[in-house]
Amino acid sequence: NLMEDQLNIVGKAEDIAAGGTATINLTLEPGHYVLACNLPGHYSQGMHVDFTVEDASSSSTTATPPPPQTTEEASQQSTTVAVTETSYNIELDQSSAPAGDVTFQISNNASDMAHEVLVIKTDTAADSLQTDDSGNLMEDQLNIVGKAEDIAAGGTATINLTLEPGHYVLACNLPGHYSQGMHVDFTVEGNGSSSTSTSESTAEASNSNAVQVSMVEFAFRMPESVSSGQVTFEVTNDGSVPHNFRITGQGIDQQFDQNLEPGETQSMQVNLEAGTYDIMCPVDSHAQQGMRTTLTVEG
């Protein structure tokens, strides 16, 4: 394994779960760099690559301006929200964003304290979420759609999400931090500029009840709402351990007979009435580790 205390490590992303992502933001000087994984045995088995940062002043290449964006491309641009954490406060540079891709750029400006950021989809106000006897959020009962953990004092992190319209809360749930005020409301607004034709709307409606579900450790990646009627769940295990998909509510309790192995996909058809349904993984303690969410079925 690499002797990290003897290396000039300028950036690091730790504990990236199977199927997960992470972002490292750096300002790099020209020179030679190496990207590597130093979990036990990984470097020696080939998890390393060279990377060169060139001096921009040495390039005389004439930049060609990009082609004009189409209306569709422009509508898919992401919104970047600056998130600033101190002790004990979270501030956003904007309190809302349009539905779609949202990037939370997080800076921990505390002088000597680590923080984290949870992005929670909820109808409850930021200061009224359910807590345990110690004043900490009960994460297994929340719809956490994004998370950046262990942001050191002076450090940064990024969360990239595709968000549907609704109310969200950003919070830090390290012991005692939420109860001391580290929470803020955030609104994702619907796209009111839709000009979809009747034929397009009809086509979308015909496909609206096919739901793509990705299972990873330990979360479901899926839409938060669907229209009532016959719903087909296309469920893929994108994780590294077996998972299952269970839906309950409104008299429904259905799951696959066999767990899905990593890489496996199965389909489930369920006739759903309007209401709220619970989605969970019934394997071992996966639900307690955060592998549960809710699905709203609209009439």
Per-residue model confidence as pLDDT tens digits over 255-275: 999 999 999 999 999 999 999
Does residue 143 sit in the same domain as residue 246? Answer: no
Domain assignment present for 196: no
19 band by pLDDT with thresholds 50, 70 and 90: low
Q: Is the dihedral of CA 11, 16, 19, 22 positive or negative?
A: negative
| Residue 78 φ then ψ, to 5° | -85, 155
The pLDDT, as a whole number, for residue 158 is 93
Judge whether 249 and 265 are in contact, CB under 8 Å. no
Q: How many helices (H) and strands (E) does the chain have?
A: 2, 20
pLDDT in tens, 126-177: 999 989 999 999 999 999 999 999 999 999 999 999 999 999 999 999 999 9
Q: Which helix (H) or strand (E) holds 34?
A: strand 31-36
Does residue 82 sit in the same domain as residue 139? Answer: yes
* Nearest partner of 220 among 113, 158, 136, 295, judged by Cα: 295
CB within 8 Å of 35: residues ≥ 6 apart: 48, 49, 51
Does residue 174 sit in the same domain as residue 280? Answer: no
Among 10-14, 23-27, 148-152, 196-200, the range with the most confident prediction by mean pLDDT is 148-152
Question: How many angstroms separate the CA atoms of 92 and 82, rounded?
Answer: 6
Q: What is the CATH number of the domain that holds 158?
A: 2.60.40.420
Domain assignment present for 141: yes
- Please compute the mean of the pLDDT values over residues 22-36 and round it to a whole number: 85
The pLDDT, as a whole number, for residue 126 is 92
Among 72-81, 184-193, 195-204, 243-252, the range with the most confident prediction by mean pLDDT is 243-252
78 band by pLDDT with thresholds 50, 70 and 90: confident
Does residue 11 sit in the same domain as residue 109? Answer: no
What is the number of other CB atoms lying within 10 angstroms of the CB of residue 168?
A: 24
State how many domains the chain has. Answer: 3
Residue ending a domain, among 125, 158, 189, is: 189
Does residue 149 sit in the same domain as residue 79? Answer: yes
3-state secondary structure of 179: helix
Judge whether 154 and 160 are in contact, CB under 8 Å. no
Question: How many angstroms separate the CA atoms of 62 and 249, rounded?
Answer: 60
Does residue 267 sit in the same domain as residue 246? Answer: yes
Written as one letter, the residue type at 40 is P
Does residue 91 sit in the same domain as residue 155? Answer: yes
Domain assignment present for 199: no
Look up tokens 């690091």; give the residue: 12
Residue ending a domain, among 154, 189, 224, is: 189
Look up tokens 């979308």; give the residue: 204
Provide the β-strand partners of residue 152. none
CA-based angle 223:226:230, to the nearest 5?
A: 125
113 band by pLDDT with thresholds 50, 70 and 90: very high
pLDDT in tens, 232-258: 999 999 989 999 999 999 889 999 999
Output DSSP code: residue 203: H
Does residue 7 sit in the same domain as residue 103? Answer: no
Does residue 82 sit in the same domain as residue 185? Answer: yes
Written as one letter, the residue type at 264 is E
CB within 8 Å of 258: residues ≥ 6 apart: none
Domain assignment present for 195: no
Does residue 180 sit in the same domain as residue 223? Answer: no
Residue ending a domain, among 35, 65, 95, is: 65
The Cα-based distances of 263 to 20, 82, 139, 254 in angstroms read: 15, 36, 27, 21
Domain extent, residue 293, equals 207-298
Does residue 222 sit in the same domain as residue 125? Answer: no
**pTM for this structure?**
0.44
